[in-house]
């Protein structure tokens, strides 16, 4: 049985929610391996909309095990609120359906406070974070001062962990003109929530390795997109974790040989939220049309996404760094009705043609797109479930994308509905 990693191959918002839900029906375990609750995803199931951020997408499917891995940073208060929200929608969540790795670092209220205070500083370039504390929580993890799920089980250990964290945070807060942390209040909040979170705690690495040995199918679910990867993204306008497929192994505690197929989710055009370079961005009527037709607003933040033509340079690069086996091509229907379409095939950097995005931030900012034009189509592709239902020009567009990114299309999505999907290659049977 194949195990599948799903990664976003652009700047996030590629439509991972629908694809993961589509795949999760055939998986036994769905495991989140990185990120926090800053990356929302929307599922539409039988007309009902589920908006998730911390919970794995498989939680809405009965009979599946959903796992939050150690590569995630977890806000326990947000998680419990999200669980309560989907319970009201009729989804039952229990320790049999949800497990949290015991070594998962926690996002505390002080992380969000620090995140927002930094972004508010005048004279400092904004990163464009969601202000939810994800970055500071990852900093504490690598700084060896994080509070992890297992620490909640022992009050003495918890106090030691809090004291170590506050030595760092109180010094930072003084520099930012903030009041010191109320230690007693923080401990009280953690002790109050501890039993509710510990009910889901488990040695996830062991559970997943046992599942593998038993021949169970595992779906590894990432958040955000590869262009936000801390190492390979548009640094410093990135998230604070590794997003690429290699993180799936370390983010839950399995070996790299557990990964059989990497599915990259790719939107038929390009969007990003927040600050940072975007060579193919459109600040014209076409960009506005893409945003309106694609309903390009953040699931969590409501922020309007920046829109542009499909950038084959970037996707070719992320397919390489994640070892993508095939892509799921989403939102093709948003391109319906355009007389002419453009694809970015290279960049011009000070008169030099580049077939990749350079690493240096100043060079990224100076890259301008070199476009190839293709005829559009007037027919609707929305809801198509076979190649025969697609206009010839749409098929040519998809085939040209495959050539330019050097990666085949495994799935094609033509609407938010999960059944409106054309399956070319089954990732679980690769």
Annotated active-site positions, please? 13, 41
| Measured torsion, CA atoms of residues 307, 308, 311, 314, in degrees rounded to the nearest 10 | -40
Instruction: Say if residues 72 and 34 touch (Cβ distance below 8 Å).
Output: yes
Q: Please name the residue ranges forming H helices in 295-424.
A: 312-322, 361-366, 392-405
What are the structure tokens assigned to 105, written together?
Answer: 């670092």
| d(C-alpha 251, C-alpha 128), whole Å | 24
| d(C-alpha 66, C-alpha 74), whole Å | 15
Beta-carbon contacts of 60 under 8 Å, excluding residues fewer than 6 positions away, are 21, 43, 45, 50, 52, 86, 91
The alpha carbon of 362 is separated from its chain's Cα centroid by a whole number of angstroms, namely 26
Question: Distances in Å between the alpha carbon of 298 and those of 118, 133, 227, 302?
Answer: 22, 18, 17, 4
Closest CA to 99 of 2, 4, 208: 208
> Would you say the C-alpha torsion 63, 322, 149, 117 has a positive or negative sign?
negative
Place of tokens 């996030």: 12
């Amino acid at each position: 049985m194949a195990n599948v990693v799903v990664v976003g191959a652009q700047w996030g918002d590629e439509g991972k929610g629908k694809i993961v839900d589509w795949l999760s029906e055939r998986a036994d375990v769905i495991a989140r391996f990185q990120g926090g609750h800053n990356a929302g995803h929307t599922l539409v199931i039988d007309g009902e909309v589920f908006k998730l951020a911390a919970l794995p997408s498989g939680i809405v499917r009965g009979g599946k095990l959903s796992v939050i891995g150690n590569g995630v940073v977890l806000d326990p208060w947000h998680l419990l609120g999200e669980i309560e929200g989907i319970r009201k929608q009729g989804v039952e969540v229990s320790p049999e359906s949800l497990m949290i790795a015991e070594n998962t670092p926690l996002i505390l209220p002080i992380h969000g406070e620090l995140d927002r205070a930094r972004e508010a500083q005048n004279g400092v370039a904004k990163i464009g974070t969601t202000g939810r504390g994800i970055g500071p929580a990852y900093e504490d993890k690598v700084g060896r001062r994080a509070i992890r799920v297992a620490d909640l089980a022992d009050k003495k250990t918890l106090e030691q962990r809090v004291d170590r964290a506050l030595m760092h945070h109180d010094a930072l807060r003084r520099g930012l003109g903030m009041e010191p942390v109320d230690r007693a209040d923080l401990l009280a909040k953690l002790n109050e929530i501890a039993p509710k979170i510990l009910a889901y705690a488990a040695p996830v690495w062991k559970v997943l390795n046992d599942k593998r040995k038993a021949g169970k199918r595992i779906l590894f679910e990432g958040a955000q997109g590869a262009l936000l990867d801390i190492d390979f993204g548009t640094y410093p306008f990135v998230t604070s974790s590794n997003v690429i497929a290699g993180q799936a192994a370390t983010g839950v505690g399995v070996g790299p040989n557990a990964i059989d197929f990497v599915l990259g989710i790719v939107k038929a055009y390009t969007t990003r939220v927040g600050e940072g370079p975007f060579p193919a961005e459109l600040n014209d009527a076409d960009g506005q049309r893409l945003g309106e037709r694609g309903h390009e607003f953040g699931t969590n933040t409501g922020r309007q996404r920046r829109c542009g033509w499909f950038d084959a340079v970037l996707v070719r690069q992320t397919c390489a760094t994640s070892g993508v086996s095939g892509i799921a091509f989403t939102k093709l229907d948003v391109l319906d009705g355009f007389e002419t379409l453009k694809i970015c095939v290279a960049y011009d950097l000070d008169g030099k043609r580049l077939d990749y995005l350079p690493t240096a931030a100043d060079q990224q900012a100076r890259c301008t797109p070199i476009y190839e034009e293709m005829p559009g189509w007037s027919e609707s592709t929305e809801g198509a479930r076979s190649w025969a239902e697609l206009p010839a020009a749409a098929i040519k567009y998809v085939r040209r994308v495959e050539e330019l990114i050097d990666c085949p299309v495994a799935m094609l999505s033509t609407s938010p509905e999960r059944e409106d999907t054309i399956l070319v290659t089954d990732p679980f049977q690769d």
